[in-house]
Chains A and B, each alone.
Chain A
């Protein structure tokens, strides 16, 4: 395995960087989107239920099928991969965000309302800080899931660590398969760790 790394470093490093890039782009877009949808759901509670139901249906579609379905719209490549990964993440993020915000003590929320906070003030000054743990848990879950599902994206030419896995499978090259699996696992574990560390920083 080390021989392979030394003889073809670019065959490992480039898919890895690609994977990190894909994950980062997906994370930023999906967190922004989920935050926006969460705010909308706070204003219009029915919308939260509709969105949750919709994205749970999306999430139940196997990834390869969803990638294939998206190809006519955005073609082969990274855009399609990121679009699909963001759609999957909405289920995880929105679900965790809404559940976390709703779990804030109803007495505290009523007090916030009772002293004259608007819906937005209650959301950002009371619910978000008190639900920080659940919000971060949702983000960590989404990142790990993105890294995992992202390997399938190689099937639609989006690159990433999936390239190593698929190549390895096609040519029966165990070393490639091992490198692909090992690196996605390491990536997932370290992303989780980094986010946990960031969470501690935010909580002060």
Chain B
């Protein structure tokens, strides 16, 4: 074996067209993601980033191209099986409102008839991992939690089946700035601890650059650049990428300007 890590996710000319005459939402995207990488997908709303993510766990099926997970073409695998192998976190709601925190986390393993005690103790362990005290929070309902706490529960639920791949669709989109920063840091810590492959969709360039070991930049369905934050900033491959980076700089110089006053 060589030193190269295994390819976790491979997109091969993946396209998605929702209706015949519409422009493709995702347009011939090709990319390889290695096992254990933290990848962020960055783009403005409607650029196809969420569509690409949803095709990865077969919530949507591509109209062209193939998606290969650990060597297996997912179109040959039953969608429910694909989803159960992956963690999935979405923005806002995500949690089932009529179930407690513990029920939300354990519902799937219970449905799959896994041992109740094992499931329970793992749920408590995961709650601690996302910094929620199990004794305080396990029996609460989602409506009794803050947005940040709900998202922690969503994270714990996604980690429950110990998936190799975690898909996160703007997980911090609806969360205030301070909580978001601490959740981002915890996500990085969890990634370090679990060594899973993370795929996170965001429209926030700071979040994408901070979290991603490599960043996929998308616009109008196309993948414009897929590289490390460092290389993207140094060598933007496209005028859109350049504009994106300039916008981040402008924001930063505003803050620096205020500090200088």
A residues contacting B by CB (< 8 A) are 105, 107-108, 110-118, 121, 125-126, 129-130
**Is A108 in contact with B93, judged by CB distance below 8 angstroms?**
yes
Q: Are B90 and A113 in contact (CB under 8 A)?
A: no
Instruction: Determine whether the beta carbon of B90 is less than 8 Å from that of A107.
Output: yes
Contact status B97-A115, CB under 8 Å: no
Residue among A105, A107, A115, A116 with max Cβ neighbours from chain B (10 Å): A115
Question: Is B93 within 8 A of A114, CB to CB?
Answer: no
Given contacts A107-B90, A121-B111, contact A113 B95 (CB under 8 A): no
Chain A neighbourhood of B94, CB < 8 A: 107-108, 111
B108 near A107: Cβ-Cβ < 8 Å = no
Q: A108-B93, A114-B88, A116-B80 are in contact. List 8 more A-B contacts (CB 8 A).
A: A111-B90, A111-B93, A115-B84, A116-B81, A116-B83, A117-B108, A121-B111, A125-B111
Rounded to whole Å, the gap between the CB of B199 and the closest CB of chain A is: 13
A42 to chain B, nearest CB (A): 15
CA distance A114 to B167 in the complex (A): 10
Name the A residues within 8 Å of B88 (CB-CB). 111, 114-115
Q: Tell me which residues across on chain A come within 8 A of B93, comparing CB atoms.
A: 105, 107-108, 111
- CB < 8 Å neighbour of B108 from A105, A116, A129, A130: A116
Q: Which of A107, A108, A111, A113 has the most CB of B within 10 A?
A: A111
Q: Is B59 an interface residue (CB 8 A)?
A: yes
Contact A115 B80 (CB under 8 A): no
Residue pair A111, B95 in contact (C-beta under 8 Å) = yes
A113 CB contacts on chain B under 8 angstroms: 59, 83
Task: Give the top 10 A-B pairs by smallest Cβ distance, nearest first.
Answer: A116-B84, A116-B83, A114-B88, A107-B93, A111-B94, A129-B98, A118-B80, A115-B108, A116-B108, A116-B80
The answer to whether B92 and A108 have CB atoms under 8 Å apart is no
| Other-chain residue from A108, A110, A117 in contact with B97 (beta carbon distance below 8 A) | A108
Shortest A46–chain B CB gap in Å is 18
User: In the complex, what residues of B have CB within 8 A of residue A117's CB?
Assistant: 80, 107-108, 111
Indicate if the CB atoms of B90 and A130 lie closer than 8 Å.
no
User: Which chain A residues lie closer than 8 Å to B95 at the CB level?
Assistant: 111
Question: Which single member of B81, B83, B92, B98 contacts A115 (CB below 8 Å)?
Answer: B83
What are 19 pairs between A and B in contact, CB < 8 Å? A108-B93, A110-B59, A111-B94, A114-B59, A114-B83, A114-B88, A114-B90, A115-B84, A115-B88, A115-B107, A115-B108, A115-B157, A116-B81, A116-B83, A116-B108, A117-B107, A125-B111, A126-B98, A129-B98
CB proximity of A39 to chain B, nearest CB, Å: 17
Question: Which residues between 124 and 169 of chain B lie within 8 Å of chain A, taking CB atoms?
Answer: 157-158, 161
Task: Output the nearest chain B residue to A121 by Cβ-Cβ distance.
Answer: B111
Contacting residues, chain A, for B98 (C-beta < 8 A):
126, 129-130
CA distance A117 to B96 in the complex (A): 12
Least Cβ–Cβ distance between A30 and chain B, in angstroms? 27
Residues of B within 8 A of A118 (CB): 80
Q: Which residue of A lies closest to B158 (CB)?
A: A115
- A128 to B: closest C-beta gap in Å: 10
Q: How distant is the Cα of A46 from the Cα of B93 in the complex, in angstroms?
A: 28
Whole-angstrom distance between the alpha carbons of A114 and B83 in the complex? 6
Minimum CB–CB distance from B162 to chain A (whole Å) comes to 13
Residues of B within 8 A of A129 (CB): 98
Closest Cβ–Cβ distance, residue A204 to chain B (whole Å) = 11
Instruction: Tell me, in angstroms, the Cα distance from A108 to B142 when the chains sit together.
Output: 12
Is A125 a contact of B59 with CB atoms below 8 Å? no
- Asked whether B90 lies within 8 Å of A110 as measured between CB atoms, the reply is yes
Give the chain B neighbours of A111 by CB distance below 8 A: 88, 90, 93-96
Q: How far is the CA of A126 from the CA of B111 in the complex (A)?
A: 13
Q: State how many angstroms separate the Cβ of B154 from the closest Cβ of chain A.
A: 8
